Amino acid sequence: MGWELRKGRWYLYRNLRVNGNPKKEYLAAQGGIGSVMALELATRQDRLRESRDRARKAAARERTAIDGVLAAAGGANESIKIVAEGDPGCPWLSQSSSGGMENGTRSEQSQRNVCWS
């Protein structure tokens, strides 16, 4: 939307696209209804811009929250992996070492011991 000076007079036009082609739509001449219309359109554009800004900020907050959840899940997955696969530095969690194995089973004491760094 904008004012254009044509033959010494100001006119209010709105720019838009029709079938991909730019077009100008005449809205009003300066004075009276033209000034009121320009003010109303400017107010609506400001509201629309503010609404888009709020939506953009809300989406950014949501992405940040999701990133936090994913980071926490990644840490939890690493802990689960260590427990499931065993920690090479921990004889009680390592499946490759005997880790207190007696007769093919772990002793009760070794089952209670857990290695965490």
- Note whether 33 and 53 are same-domain residues: yes
- Together in a domain, 28 and 65: yes
Do residues 79 and 105 share a domain? no
Are residues 102 and 56 part of one domain?
A: no
State how many domains the chain has: 2
pLDDT confidence of residue 34: 79
Regarding predicted confidence, which is higher, 8 or 111?
Answer: 8
Confidence band (pLDDT; 50, 70, 90) for 66? Answer: very high
- pLDDT confidence bin for 12, thresholds 50/70/90: confident
Cβ 66 vs Cβ 46: under 8 Å = no
Q: Report pLDDT for 64.
A: 94
Asked whether residue 16 falls in the same domain as residue 71, the answer is yes
pLDDT of residue 90: 64
The reply to whether 52 and 104 lie within a common domain is: no
* Residues 25 and 80 occupy one common structural domain: yes
Q: What is the mean pLDDT of the chain?
A: 77
Least confident interval from 37-41, 43-47, 101-105 = 101-105
Q: What's the Cα-to-Cα distance from 36 to each of 2, 49, 83, rounded to whole Å?
A: 13, 20, 71
Whether 49 and 99 map to the same domain: the answer is: no
Structure pTM? 0.46
Query: Which residues span the domain enclosing 19?
Result: 2-85
